[in-house]
Amino acid sequence: MQDNTAKQIQKVDVLVVGAGFGGMYALHKFREKGLRTVAIEAGAGVGGTWYWNRYPGARCDVMTIDYSYSFSDEIQQEWTWSERFCAQGEILSYANFVAEKLDLLRDIRFGTRANVVEFDDATQRWRIETEQGDIYDAKFCILSTGPLSVPKGVAIPGADSFEGELYLSARWPHHDVELDGKRIGVIGTGSSGVQIVSVVAHQASHLHVFQRTPSFSLPMRNQKLDPDYVAQVKKHYNAMRAVTRMTFSGGTRPASSRPLFSVTVEERNAMLEEAWQTAGHNLLGIFSDLLLNKDANDVVADFVRKKIGETVKDPQTAEKLMPRGEPIFARRPCLDTNYYEVFNQDNVTLVDCLTTPIERITPKGVIVDGKEIELDVIIAATGFDALTGALLSIDIKGRAGASLREKWSEGARSYLGMTIQGFPNLFTTASVNGPSALANFILLNEQNVNWISDLVDHMTAQGHDTVEATEAAEDRWMERIAQLASKSLMPKANTWYTGTNIPGKPRSFPMYAGGLGKYTEDCQNVANNGYEGLIFGSQSATPATHKARETA
């Protein structure tokens, strides 16, 4: 341990890292228990991803009646969403509304980033040191850092030489950015890139879209919410939530038990067309085997490719926009408003970086195929070091100084996606070995925080000071994740799901692919069985004692 005698140490019961929706709820939940709880947040406000991602067109791709807290009916009744899929600004306003409603701001330290999180074997407590030099001493540490919070940046030669405006989508400025009439280049066509292109195509004098890997994008069909519909939702919110918590995604979109080949060709084509015309995300749930049966997946992929061909007038451009070689929905599906339509505009040019990669960025623009494309603005929607990036950016050390980076050097492993062997009283929410990005993030965070809260109650009642997973429990959980993934087509794609967007990162599919409902059941079964797979200790227990218990 470092010598902290010269620094003031702030002692708390619970230290929460992150003030997105997971961290906000954790702060509220543990304060309600009477525990001295503080949250630290790198940004200057709450909201997590919605604080940082302010790029043009930023919008949630989960329906906002689902993408909101369920723990407080008072909040559900007081807050009214304006659209089916709300924009970043409205979601951030919601986060601030909740923070003010629950008086969270007084216990959040903004502009504060965790640098070292280290377990003290002598005191059985966590020492959290921030980049700003603050030190916290906590019995429990909850990491609500989010799966998409560390951007990759622009790893293209010459990026620093560009004399125009260069913006990273995930770190968009908090001031107005004037784009009208400018020559703009957008690098990347994942979810963020698709949303950006759909908007800036109507602002740019000319837009070059630098596409590395094409994405399947579905029509969002966004709309204003009718007051009568809103009143209906609010009246039945609690019943709706009870159902959605047990679905695969944690949302109210269709979820069928009907395999694709159980209906006739005419019936399935009609169903696909109806889903496309009403809301593209419905395609995810109209058949039960889209992520299990490659032949069924191919049918839906061909349907979407046909729609792209019908929309984009130039056949060569349309073909470049069609993903091939990977299952549809194995890469995160995008929702858009007239994304493919903008490629019919004279001021939009698609650059296929699979056949003609970006060679370098120059002071004046971008070199592709030996030719310079002059630009005034470059927008990099280049993705994230997802799932593990935020956790591994912190120097986390458990018992006897064991490093989480070393433990996870060949891939993330934990128990239930919430506890880690060798790291007592350290919890993660909506993290890598749970449903994570496959589920409604807010409901998943609520489930995780509630489960951790119940575990802390159990510890208090039994007189325990520490808790951690056993190595055997971790092994069983990782086998469970692998078994679920082996049944799914999702691991078949090279995406941030599998870590292949980061050079040198171990390739794996570390998320729980069984859905939010099954995951919730698995977690509840652990609790019902006396928290099997966890070991408890007291302050008098030594590291050797804990090791003996783990291997018993």
Using a 10 angstrom Cβ sphere, with 0-12 exposed, 13-18 middle and 19 or more buried, the burial of residue 266 is exposed
What is the rounded distance in angstroms from the CA atom of residue 517 to the CA atom of residue 99?
28
From the list 253, 286, 256, 252, the residue with the least C-alpha distance to 268 is: 286
What is the enclosing helix (H) or strand (E) of 315? helix 315-321
Is residue 152 within 8 A of residue 343, CB to CB? The reply is: no
What is the rounded distance in angstroms from the CA atom of residue 245 to the CA atom of residue 238?
11
Q: In this prediction, what percent of the chain has a pLDDT beyond 90?
A: 85
What is the rounded distance in angstroms from the CA atom of residue 350 to the CA atom of residue 353?
9
Give the confidence band of 509 by pLDDT, cuts at 50, 70, 90.
Answer: confident
Give the per-residue pLDDT at 241: 95
What is the rounded distance in angstroms from the CA atom of residue 330 to the CA atom of residue 333?
8
Give the per-residue pLDDT at 386: 81
For residue range 136-166, what is the model confidence (pLDDT) as tens digits? 999 999 999 998 888 888 999 999 999 999 9
Is the pLDDT confidence value at 362 over 60? yes
For residue range 326-342, what is the model confidence (pLDDT) as tens digits? 999 988 889 999 999 99
What is the rounded distance in angstroms from the CA atom of residue 399 to the CA atom of residue 421?
9
Over range 347-359, report the average pLDDT.
96
What is the rounded distance in angstroms from the CA atom of residue 413 to the CA atom of residue 477?
8
What is the rounded distance in angstroms from the CA atom of residue 446 to the CA atom of residue 250?
11
Q: Dihedral (C-alpha) 473, 478, 480, 484: value to the nearest 10 degrees?
A: 170
Phi, psi of 37 (to 5 degrees): -125, 135
Q: State both tokens at 216.
A: 């399947």
Q: State both tokens at 368.
A: 């592709």
Is residue 351 within 8 A of residue 211, CB to CB? The reply is: yes
Q: State both tokens at 429.
A: 């929410």
Angle between helices 294-311 and 265-278 (to 10 degrees): 50
What is the rounded distance in angstroms from the CA atom of residue 143 to the CA atom of residue 391?
8
What is the rounded distance in angstroms from the CA atom of residue 159 to the CA atom of residue 89?
29
> What DSSP state is assigned to residue 224?
B
Maximum alpha-carbon separation in the chain: 75
Contacts of 220 (CB under 8 A, 6+ apart): 59, 61, 85, 279, 280, 281, 335, 336, 337
Is the pLDDT confidence value at 216 over 90? yes
Number of continuous H segments (helices) and E segments (strands) in the chain: 16, 21
The DSSP bridge pattern shows strands 125-130 and 114-120 to be antiparallel
Give the confidence band of 63 by pLDDT, cuts at 50, 70, 90.
Answer: very high
Query: 325-334, 353-362, 363-372: which has the minimum mean pLDDT?
Result: 325-334
Residue type, 136: Y
With tokens 């509304």, the residue in question is 97
Give the confidence band of 255 by pLDDT, cuts at 50, 70, 90.
Answer: confident
Over range 89-111, report the average pLDDT.
98
From the list 21, 16, 14, 12, the residue with the least C-alpha distance to 143 is: 16
Is the pLDDT confidence value at 505 over 90? no
- For the chain, give the number of residues: 552
Transcribe 392-416 into DSSP letters.
Answer: HTSEEE-GGG-BHHHHTTT----BT
What is the rounded distance in angstroms from the CA atom of residue 370 to the CA atom of residue 30?
58
Query: 22-26, 151-155, 383-387: which has the minimum mean pLDDT?
Result: 383-387
How far is residue 397 from each of residues 72, 104, 117, 128, measured CA to CA in Å? Answer: 36, 28, 6, 10
Contacts of 359 (CB under 8 A, 6+ apart): 157, 367, 368, 369, 370
Pick the more confident residue, 62 or 547: 62
What is the rounded distance in angstroms from the CA atom of residue 494 to the CA atom of residue 437?
16
Is the pLDDT confidence value at 545 over 60? no
What is the rounded distance in angstroms from the CA atom of residue 527 to the CA atom of residue 537?
17
Is the pLDDT confidence value at 540 over 60? no
From the list 482, 467, 479, the residue with the least C-alpha distance to 532 is: 467
CB neighbourhood size of 423 (10 A) = 24
The DSSP bridge pattern shows strands 358-361 and 114-120 to be unpaired
What is the rounded distance in angstroms from the CA atom of residue 372 to the CA atom of residue 162?
13
The DSSP bridge pattern shows strands 371-374 and 365-368 to be antiparallel
Is residue 412 within 8 A of residue 88, CB to CB? The reply is: no
